[in-house]
Structure 1
Amino acid sequence: MVRALAFDVFGTVVDWRSSIVAELEAFGESLGLHRDWPDFADRWRAGYAPAMDRVRRGELRWTRIDDLHRAILVELLDTAGIRATESEIDELNRAWHRLDPWPDSVAGLTRLKSRYLVTTLSNGNLSLLTNMAKRAGLPWDCVISAELFRHYKPDPEAYLGCADLLDIPPAELMLVAAHPSDLRAARAAGLGTAYVARPLEFGPGHVPHDVSDDHFDITATDFVDLADQLGA
């Protein structure tokens, strides 16, 4: 029996790409710059997994996502020949704290919360996730970050650590995510799995994930559909 739902956040709960593109456009306008900001956003996000992998392999000491994001941003700005002050870079980097939810996220989470404990299980650091929830009105029961375990997903310590903090067996915790690799790792750690399709995460024209062979416990079109399937 599932008692708690743990949600991946970037891409699953919030539309990071549209939010970051809008922030970059405002940044460019403030400096009188014209760039391919959607491509810049994609490259910023593309640096996320390799940076985390360096931490996971021990090549970098434990580093928060905020700091990894900033290092990637500084490199991208340098490569693009864009000069900005430290305060301008800091403010732009905090765009990840201001991501907008998908249209169904708040309504779906509110329904799911009526029956289940709902929490984040994100690689985002605790302050980022808390600020995001406050701004976007995300109704979490609690905010759990990989920062608490010093292990980024897909390390099993993140999934098992979440279950341990909630004082429930892994089988009573279900990960909800739009990313099959995250769900496969959660399943290997003994968690339930719910795939929620977010075909626009990487923008129009992106090929959706094919999860037909993954046999996740639930496959849903959005959080409202997930609530329907889970009887909330």
Structure 2
Amino acid sequence: MNDPIPIDVETWPRRQHFEHYRTAVPCTYSITVELDVTTFVAAVRSAMRRTYIAQIWAIASVVNRYEEFRMTLTDSGAPATWSLVHPSFTVFNRERETFASVWAPYNPDFAAFHEAAAHVIAEHAESTRLFPQGPSPRNSFDVSSLPWTAFTGFTLNIGGSWDHLAPIFTLGQYVERDGQVLLPLAVQMHHAAADGFHTARLINELRDLFSDASWVSS
């Protein structure tokens, strides 16, 4: 893993915003949306791929496009970015009704990522430990799934989280409405790392990936 790349704050357009929401008014925000995944669901079924893995890959692909979603802090507390981040995600143990938190290296090749992530899930599906692979890499972000219920709002209340700049994603149960299949998605973000504009752009580009799901059969 490479070290994070420090941001040149002297030329950084968001310097004042970062400092304000990091020190003066530390805050996070969350947004919940419904994404039209009708085409995506059909593509996944046709290609006999795993839905959860495909969702994770799509999110990781958009996250890796933008530095605001790859942000971290140096040891001195200065803003920096990772060149690449990897998804950490939950795997449910049905018998114990607990979950394990695992991760797989992001690969822009969906087929390669699907194979690696499927192996990780199979290996740890019955794990009795929360982190069976050990600690997640520092350059990772979190995805979790609530496939048992849909929701129109979801917020994580994290104590002492002011140093956590990575986004957190929560997926819900599909909803069918007016001939569409909709996916509830909640995004939690530190305001020091990204503003509403940046999160909206991420959501819109994720919509585009789900609308043109030809990558699923790659």
Compare the two structures and name the one with the higher helix fraction. 1
TM-score, normalising length: structure 1: 0.30
Q: Which of structures 1 and 2 has the larger relative contact order (alpha carbons within 8 angstroms, sep 6+)?
A: 2
TM-score, normalising length: structure 2: 0.31
